[in-house]
């Protein structure tokens, strides 16, 4: 949002800021048919997904195993909208972390309307693809076979061998250069139904968007799995398992929410490279497109630099915020006493955020997240009538006037709430207000009007002195 600090000349400027944000919320988009993109690791699935959706959203790196969760993106082709689900490498005999990744791909196929199997056209069908083809031939879902990395005509003769998989005609595509992507999209639209397999009943207004953020291995994916009641995100003891943001519709306390699991933010992201750097950009984007952020903190460990970086990112984005102290089942009495001192020092930027003590592992108190989210969002959307705001502010300033600056005491002549999401107030004054006095006004605003769980922004516009002779013209 543009900084509202500045100057003003006459009272006509005041009305320009009044009632700017009175519009209704966005309506929910109708549900869309789903295409699941599957294949073994490093065949170019995410590159092809970026080509299909027409933007660089999926994290891409020239090493296998970058994508791990199933990640949904909106796509548009020839006026029709559909959802593309990118998946991690699918290998039927995978073990360990890769087995969890493969399970996510299988879940994506089970909930999709059409399956797109991607094979590396420069290599051809391997024993893995033959095993995958057997599984897909038994399924009742429409399957489209795509040969990726076909960047020139030299590979076209080898593509014919893919007919042996028994999945129909192979479509050659270059995800990197776009070769053949239009023809593939036409085939995809032809196979997709006009309406999706499932309707989640997202009525008017649509689900509120919630970003799960925090440092690596704090339990974001475990919490999402607990909320959804399924293994929606890949969970492993290795930090940094999640790379792409993962969207899930979650029914919590009788309401549908859209939760987004994000990659953990590390200490020095700007010095990182490859997937980790782009994952951090996706996390920032997920926060900015969300309405409220649930910041997960590890309750049985001291607050870390990464925790404070995450909090700073959320505050600067202007999003509503709930603090969830995870792994509370591991906290003893001594640790609770330590936390009181840590929070007094470390959370000075967000004293207004609601705090919930949970355990994603056991499910302890996760039901308390919904009331905290509603409170934060209601505060985020709150508008104070101009008349009531000015009456309250006049009484406040009469009791505690602003400090003298340069031998003169500034006066606050008028105030208005310029916008919501977050609540932003503009004060029209005769002089500059010190930062400490702005914080004082914010603190008293919260005492009077609430705003629990939401940042509050206060801007000052100082009256500009008219130039000599301006009034004579």
Which fold, 209-380? Rossmann fold (3.40.50)
Of 103, 406, 365, 371, which is closest to residue 233 (Cα–Cα)? 103
pLDDT of 452 above 90 = yes
What's the 3-state SS for 248-302? EEEEECCEEEEEEECCCCCCCHHHCCHHHHHHHHHHHHHHHHCCEEEEEEECCCC
Q: In Å, how far are 43, 66, 103, 108, 243 from 60, measured between CA atoms?
A: 11, 7, 21, 19, 10
Per the DSSP assignment, residues forming a β-bridge with 415 are: 427
pLDDT of 293 above 90 = yes
- The reply, when asked if residue 40 is annotated as ligand binding, is yes
Give 6-22+383-472's CATH code, choosing from 3.30.300.20, 1.10.10.10, 3.40.190.10, 3.90.1150.10: 3.30.300.20
Evaluated on CA atoms 428, 430, 431, 436, the torsion sign reads negative
- The reply, when asked if residue 253 is annotated as ligand binding, is no
Q: What value does the mean pLDDT take over residues 387-406?
A: 93
Quote the pLDDT of residue 240.
Answer: 41
pLDDT of 280 above 90 = no
pLDDT of 242 above 50 = no
The pTM of the full predicted model, rounded to 2 decimals, is 0.62
Q: What value does the mean pLDDT take over residues 174-180?
A: 79
What percentage of the chain exceeds 90 in pLDDT? 32
Quote the pLDDT of residue 251.
Answer: 87
pLDDT of 264 above 80 = no
- The reply, when asked if residue 422 is annotated as ligand binding, is no
Quote the pLDDT of residue 92.
Answer: 62
Quote the pLDDT of residue 467.
Answer: 60
Strands in 89-206 per DSSP E: 114-120, 143-148, 170-172
Give 34-191's CATH code, choosing from 3.20.20.70, 3.40.1190.20, 1.10.1490.10, 3.40.50.300: 3.40.50.300
Quote the pLDDT of residue 60.
Answer: 46
Helix or strand or coil: residue 386?
A: helix
What percentage of the chain exceeds 70 in pLDDT? 76
- The reply, when asked if residue 250 is annotated as ligand binding, is no
Helix (H) or strand (E) holding 129: helix 127-138
- The reply, when asked if residue 327 is annotated as ligand binding, is yes
- The reply, when asked if residue 42 is annotated as ligand binding, is yes
Task: List, by residue range, all CATH 3.40.50.300 domains of the chain.
Answer: 34-191, 209-380
Average pLDDT of the chain is 80
Give pLDDT tens digits for 21-80: 444 444 444 568 889 888 888 888 888 888 888 877 655 444 344 444 567 788 888 878
Of 253, 257, 284, which is closest to residue 269 (Cα–Cα)? 284
Using an 8 Å Cβ cutoff, are 371 and 324 in contact?
Answer: no
Using an 8 Å Cβ cutoff, are 425 and 439 in contact?
Answer: no
- The reply, when asked if residue 88 is annotated as ligand binding, is yes
* Pairwise CA distance, residues 392 & 390, whole Å: 5
Using an 8 Å Cβ cutoff, are 216 and 264 in contact?
Answer: yes
- The reply, when asked if residue 221 is annotated as ligand binding, is yes
- The reply, when asked if residue 166 is annotated as ligand binding, is no
Of 46-55, 233-242, 265-274, 349-358, where does mean pLDDT reach its minimum?
A: 233-242
């Amino acid at each position: 949002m543009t900084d509202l600090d500045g100057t003003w000349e006459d009272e006509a400027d005041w009305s320009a800021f009044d009632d700017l944000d009175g519009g209704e919320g966005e309506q929910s988009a109708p549900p869309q048919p789903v295409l699941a993109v599957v294949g073994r690791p490093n065949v170019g699935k995410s590159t092809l997904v970026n080509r299909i959706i027409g933007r660089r959203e999926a994290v891409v790196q020239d090493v296998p195993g970058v994508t791990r969760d199933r990640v949904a993106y909106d796509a548009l082709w020839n006026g029709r909208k559909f959802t593309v689900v990118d998946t991690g490498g699918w290998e039927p005999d995978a073990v360990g972390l890769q087995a969890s990744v493969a399970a996510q791909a299988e879940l994506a196929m089970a909930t999709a309307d059409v399956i797109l199997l991607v094979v590396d056209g420069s290599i051809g069908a391997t024993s893995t693809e033959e095993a995958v083809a057997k599984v897909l031939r038994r399924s009742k879902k429409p399957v489209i076979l795509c040969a990726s990395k076909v960047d020139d005509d030299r590979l076209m003769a080898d593509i014919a061998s893919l007919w042996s998989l028994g999945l129909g005609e192979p479509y050659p595509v270059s995800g990197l250069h776009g070769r053949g992507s239009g023809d593939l999209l036409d085939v995809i639209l032809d196979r997709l139904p006009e309406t999706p397999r499932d309707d989640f009943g997202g009525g008017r207004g649509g689900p509120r968007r919630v970003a799960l953020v925090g440092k690596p291995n704090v339990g974001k994916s475990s919490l999402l799995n607990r909320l959804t009641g399924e293994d929606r995100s890949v969970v492993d003891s290795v930090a940094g398992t999640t790379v792409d943001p993962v969207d899930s519709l979650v029914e919590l306390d009788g309401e549908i929410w859209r939760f987004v699991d994000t990659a953990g933010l590390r200490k020095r992201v700007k010095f990182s490279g490859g997937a980790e750097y782009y994952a951090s950009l996706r996390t920032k984007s997920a926060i900015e497109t969300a309405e409220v952020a649930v910041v997960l903190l590890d309750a049985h460990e001291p607050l870390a630099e990464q925790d404070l970086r995450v909090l700073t990112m959320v505050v600067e984005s202007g999003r509503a915020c709930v603090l969830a102290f995870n792994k509370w089942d591991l906290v003893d009495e001594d640790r609770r006493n330590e936390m009181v001192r840590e929070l007094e020092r470390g959370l000075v930027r967000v004293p207004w955020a609601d705090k919930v003590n949970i355990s994603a592992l056991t499910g302890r108190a996760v039901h308390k997240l919904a009331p905290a989210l509603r409170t934060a969002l209601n505060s985020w959307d709150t508008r104070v009538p101009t008349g009531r705001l000015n009456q309250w502010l006049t009484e406040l300033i009469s009791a505690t006037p602003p400090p003298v600056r340069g031998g003169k005491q500034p006066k606050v002549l008028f105030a208005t709430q310029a916008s919501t999401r977050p609540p932003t107030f503009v004060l029209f004054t005769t002089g500059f207000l010190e930062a400490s006095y702005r914080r004082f006004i914010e603190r008293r605003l919260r005492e009077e009007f609430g705003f629990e769980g939401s940042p509050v922004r206060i801007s000052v516009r100082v009256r500009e002195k008219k130039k000599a002779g301006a009034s004579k013209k």
